Amino acid sequence: MKFKNQAKLIKSVRLKAGLSQSQMAKLLGYKSGQFISNMERGICGLPPESHKKIRGLVSKQALLSAVIQDVKAHWSEYL
C-alpha cells in the first residue's frame, strides 16, 4: 500500500511546525528521523498509536481524511 496522502500531510505539518525529521521523530516517540523520512516518502504510514501524539500539530479530521484517501486508493486498484 502507498501512503501518498499521509506522506504529504506529515511533511506539511512538520515543516509548518519548523521541526526537523529528527525532532518530529522524537515528538512521536521514535529514535531516528529515518522513520519520518520513510513516512514522508510514502513508504509507510503513521502507525495508529502515533495519531494521538501528532494531534497537537494536525486536526483529527485532516489526519483521518489522509488515511481514508490512502486506503481508498489502495483498494481501488483491486476492485
CATH number at residue 27: 1.10.260.40
Looking at residue 34, what is its pLDDT? 97
Which comes out higher in pLDDT, residue 23 or 49?
23
- Average pLDDT for residues 47-69, to the nearest whole number? 92
Grid coordinates given for 3: 501512503
**Helix segments in the chain, DSSP class H:** 4-17, 21-28, 34-40, 48-54, 60-76
Distance between alpha carbon 57 and the CA centroid of its chain, in Å? 11
Q: Tell me the whole-structure pTM to 2 decimals.
A: 0.88
Structural domain count, the chain: 1
Please work out, in degrees rounded to the nearest 5, the angle formed at the alpha carbon of residue 19 by the alpha carbons of 70 and 48: 35
**Greater confidence, 12 or 56?**
12
Domain span at residue 9 reads: 4-76
Question: How far is 39 from 43, CA to CA, in rounded Å?
Answer: 6
Residue with cell 522513520: 35
pLDDT tens across 7-39, in order?
999 999 999 999 999 999 999 999 999 999 999
